[in-house]
Amino acid sequence: MYDTLKERFLKYVKFETRSDESSETIPSTPSQIEFAKLLKKEMEEIGLENVYVNDACFVNGTLPSNIDKKVPVIGFIAHMDTADFNAVDVNPQIIENYDGKDIILNKDLGITMYTEEFPNLENYVSKTVITTDGTTLLGADDKAGIVEIMEAMKYLINHPEIKHGTVKVAFGPDEEIGRGADNFNVEEFGADFAYTMDGGPVGELEYESFNAAQAVYKIKGKSVHPGTAKDKMKNASLIAVELASMFPSAEVPEKTEGYEGFYFLEGINSNCEDAELMYILRDHDKNKFLEKKKFAEDVAKKINERYGKDTVKVVLKDQYYNMGEIIKDHMYVVDIAREAMENLNIEPIIKPIRGGTDGSKISFMGLPTPNIFAGGENFHGKYEFIALESMEKATDTIIEIIKLNVEKNYEKTEL
């Protein structure tokens, strides 16, 4: 049905597009600009109209309506960048009719994906599974989403008998570093509602995300020769350890699930004179999120009370908010996606994202944007994989949503 889906996916994942948090440019890496140019060319080739790359490196395109009546304009969004893991020389392996056994990713390096460690593999028996070679990530997050949107648009263009309203498409940069959506232009995009194709396994449908903030602690110690340090030295490394011990040990990523929030210590850099701790704070509940931020500030106050004024300074920065706060007033966008999946015999898995997507920011810009599965598993590392059949189901879902938008004849005023 989608004759170029597999070929397109293998082509896109080999294009290195890692984003760079340390960069201050838009986008953060030049490779994303080059990939945007490629996507623009291919969008024009399949027949999308008004295709262009804007100043924020979002590749935009339009599938014009082929009906007379007015229906809401739907948008589909995916991101071009990949996570901060080796993405150079991606060499996908294709396993047809997967037998459910351990998968040797790299025989020479002794890298195997064991079913005991990854029981999710059992869901893909008899499927065509695409993996890494054990040295890079795969890039299904979110090249799969791009492919699915492209293939859906191509199919609709090649099958004009399928009635549809106007559909907007956008592929953007720097999602993995949380900055790309800051420059998304909702008015320019021109949709009434949208979906990011950026979820995991088949059936995922997410309209709630974390509220998120970052806390950076900078500790100033006092370095003195250890032989004469009594009552003089102030060891920033030890203060850092003490500061970290003040956080609740049960509220960490490895001990939480579902709607439970957490504090995550991303890293520590320290010596006797200086130390820095980087935390991220997450919670779906807005009040609990605010409590977490206050707790982070109180930790710094307590350290300063013990060791002297300005021993530690903390900088708190909000990153994104729970898109459910917006989408709850526009549940039509979730309902139509749910119905589309059910029509395709896909069981919707509606659950909160334990993270964020571009939709977390875009929804607060006035464009309700839940997240739909793209099909991949084990993102951001060498054990990432995806099934060809999962991408086909995601593409089917896009098309079914577009068809339902016409068949149900929803009025824009409902939005």
Concerning whether 68 is annotated as a catalytic residue, the answer is no
The pLDDT score that the predictor gives to residue 316 is 98
Task: Kindly indicate the confidence band of residue 102, based on its pLDDT and cuts at 50, 70 and 90.
Answer: very high
pLDDT surpassing 70 at residue 410:
no
pLDDT surpassing 90 at residue 409:
no
**58 and 81 in contact (C-beta within 8 Å)?**
no
What percentage of the chain carries pLDDT values higher than 90?
95
The pLDDT score that the predictor gives to residue 20 is 94
The pLDDT score that the predictor gives to residue 408 is 78
At 30, list the tokens: 């030049």
DSSP single-letter state for residue 275: E
Query: What Rg value do the Cα atoms of the chain yield, rounded?
Result: 23
pLDDT surpassing 90 at residue 412:
no
Mean pLDDT of the residues in the chain: 95
Instruction: Give the closest residue to 217 by CA, choosing from 141, 345, 314.
Output: 314
Ordered domains of the chain (ranges, CATH): 5-208+323-414 (3.40.630.10), 215-320 (3.30.70.360)
Instruction: Give the closest residue to 284 by CA, choosing from 353, 349, 333, 348.
Output: 353
* Mean pLDDT score, 388-406: 97
Task: Please tell me whether residue 401 adopts helix, strand or coil conformation.
Answer: helix
The pLDDT score that the predictor gives to residue 228 is 93
At 19, list the tokens: 């984003």
At 183, list the tokens: 């420059």
Q: What is the pTM of this model?
A: 0.91
The pLDDT score that the predictor gives to residue 1 is 84
Q: What's the Cα-to-Cα distance from 184 to each of 141, 316, 321, 359, rounded to whole Å?
A: 19, 24, 16, 10
From the list 20, 81, 148, 377, the catalytic residue is 81
Residue 200 amino acid letter: G
Q: Which residues contact 290 (CB under 8 A, 6 or more apart)?
A: none
> Is the torsion defined by CA of 251, 256, 261, 263 positive or negative?
positive
pLDDT surpassing 60 at residue 414:
no
Least confident of 107-111, 209-213, 359-363, 407-411: 407-411
* Mean pLDDT score, 334-353: 96
pLDDT in tens, 139-176: 999 999 999 999 999 999 999 999 999 999 999 999 99
Concerning whether 175 is annotated as a catalytic residue, the answer is yes
Find the helix or strand (DSSP H, E) in which 59 lies.
strand 59-63
What DSSP line would sit under 129-187, residue for residue?
EEE--SSS---HHHHHHHHHHHHHHHHHHH-TTS----EEEEEES-TTTT-GGGG--HH
What percentage of the chain carries pLDDT values higher than 70?
98
Instruction: Give the closest residue to 229 by CA, choosing from 276, 272, 271, 275.
Output: 272
* Mean pLDDT score, 212-222: 97
Q: Which residues contact 57 (CB under 8 A, 6 or more apart)?
A: 26, 27, 32, 33, 36, 80, 172, 173, 180
pLDDT in tens, 230-264: 999 999 999 999 999 999 999 999 999 999 999 99
From the list 175, 206, 208, 396, the catalytic residue is 175
Q: What's the Cα-to-Cα distance from 161 to each of 5, 72, 74, 248, rounded to whole Å?
A: 21, 19, 19, 59
Length of the chain in terms of residues written: 415
